[in-house]
């Protein structure tokens, strides 16, 4: 089986801890520097797959440009957890009551959604499909670099925990431009 390396995108505009970034947030100059410093890639990687969210696409495009590796797929399976729109651009101290109530109940009922957000069960199911997609792509293209986002990457690396992997992922975030073997 071909190796699959997971990489978090670089730093993006407006980043703050605990902040749910808007999807359109772009890489910063520091983010581009983090990507450059993350090179060289592990030996043998032959292709890149990426999330469609701009900060991940920009990270993948920069890695592709600097290494000559092709981007062979962009997949929504690699997108970050879909937070409810009521918290985008907010930090924990400004979360609305509906989101706070959802957070208090999410582990007891992982299928529960907060408004237009993705439930923990939805995220875990998508991560399982993502893992299958990555293994298929690696079988077709060889060792891969998959560029994505901290919560999705954390759930991918803790799939056996079920929907509760979200909590593990939130407690063990990835550094910008960090890579780990799946």
User: Tens place of pLDDT for every residue, the chain, 182 residues?
Assistant: 789 999 999 999 987 776 777 788 899 999 999 999 999 999 999 999 999 999 999 999 999 999 999 999 999 999 999 999 999 888 888 999 999 999 999 999 999 999 999 999 999 999 999 999 999 999 999 999 999 999 999 999 999 999 999 999 989 889 999 999 99
Q: What is the pLDDT of residue 89?
A: 81
Q: Would you kindly state where each structural domain of the chain is located, as residue ranges?
A: 4-12+24-82+118-181, 83-116
- Helix ranges (H only) for the chain are 29-37, 54-67, 97-105, 120-141, 150-156, 165-171
Q: What is the pLDDT of residue 24?
A: 86
Please answer whether residues 26 and 32 qualify as being in contact, where contact means their C-beta atoms are separated by less than 8 angstroms: no
C-alpha 56/C-alpha 156 separation (Å) is 16
Q: What is the pLDDT of residue 93?
A: 87
Please answer whether residues 148 and 7 qualify as being in contact, where contact means their C-beta atoms are separated by less than 8 angstroms: yes
Length of the chain: 182
Q: What is the pLDDT of residue 16?
A: 73
φ/ψ of residue 93, rounded to 5: -70, -10
Q: What is the pLDDT of residue 90?
A: 84
Q: What is the pLDDT of residue 1?
A: 72
Bridge-partner residues for 5, per DSSP?
145, 181
| Architecture of domain 4-12+24-82+118-181 in this structure | 3-Layer(aba) Sandwich (3.40)
Place of tokens 């298929």: 136
């Amino acid at each position: 089986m071909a190796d699959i390396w997971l990489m978090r995108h670089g730093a993006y505009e407006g980043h703050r801890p605990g902040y749910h970034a808007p999807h359109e947030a772009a890489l910063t100059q520091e983010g581009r520097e983090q990507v450059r410093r993350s090179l060289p890639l592990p030996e043998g990687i032959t292709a890149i797959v990426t999330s469609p969210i701009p900060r991940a696409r920009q990270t993948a495009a920069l890695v592709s440009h600097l290494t000559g590796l092709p981007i062979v797929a962009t997949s929504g399976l690699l997108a970050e957890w879909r937070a409810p729109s009521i918290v985008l651009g907010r930090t924990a101290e400004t979360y609305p009551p509906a989101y706070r109530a959802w957070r208090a109940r999410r582990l007891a009922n992982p299928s529960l959604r907060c408004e237009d957000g993705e439930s923990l069960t939805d995220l875990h199911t998508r991560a399982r499909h993502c893992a299958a997609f990555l293994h298929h792509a690696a079988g077709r293209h060889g060792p891969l670099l998959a560029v994505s986002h901290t919560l999705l990457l954390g759930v991918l690396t803790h799939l056996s925990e079920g929907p509760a992997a979200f909590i593990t992922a939130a407690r063990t975030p990835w550094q910008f431009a960090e890579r780990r073997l799946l």
